[in-house]
Amino acid sequence: MDYKRGDLVVLSEFGRLITGEMDTDVGMILEGPYDLTVKTGDKVTTYYTAYDILIGDETMKKVPAEFLRRMTNDEEDNTRMEEMDDGDSAD
């Protein structure tokens, strides 16, 4: 979903956890969408669509759209959760 300046977003439990604002359920889009480029290596540049968001009294800048989606949608399963090495595998 594309947001525009002034749109309100309802934070998921994950979004409240990430922002540290457990008592705040909404944020507001301050800027965006805009293109964000991140150099990830000598020859590799990654492109994102990003937003600046006001949550509580804090502004989060350069939030990629995919991360914002996770901040605003409750996930029912953990299939998208990154796996962590438990230290027991031979990998």
DSSP the chain: ----TT-EEE--HHHHHHHT-TT--EEEEEEEEEEEEEE-SSS-EEEEEEEEEEETTEEEEEEEHHHHHHHHS--SSSTTSPP---S-S--
Domain count, the chain: 1
Domain annotation covers residue 3: no
Domain annotation covers residue 79: no
Domain annotation covers residue 83: no
- Domain range spanning residue 51? 8-72
Domain annotation covers residue 87: no
- Provide the whole-model pTM: 0.72
Domain annotation covers residue 39: yes
Predicted pLDDT at 83? 53
Spatial separation of the C-alpha atoms in residues 26 and 16, rounded to whole Å: 9
Domain annotation covers residue 77: no
pLDDT tens for the 91 residues of the chain, in order: 789 999 999 999 989 988 887 888 999 999 999 999 888 888 778 889 999 999 988 999 999 999 999 999 876 655 555 555 556 655 5
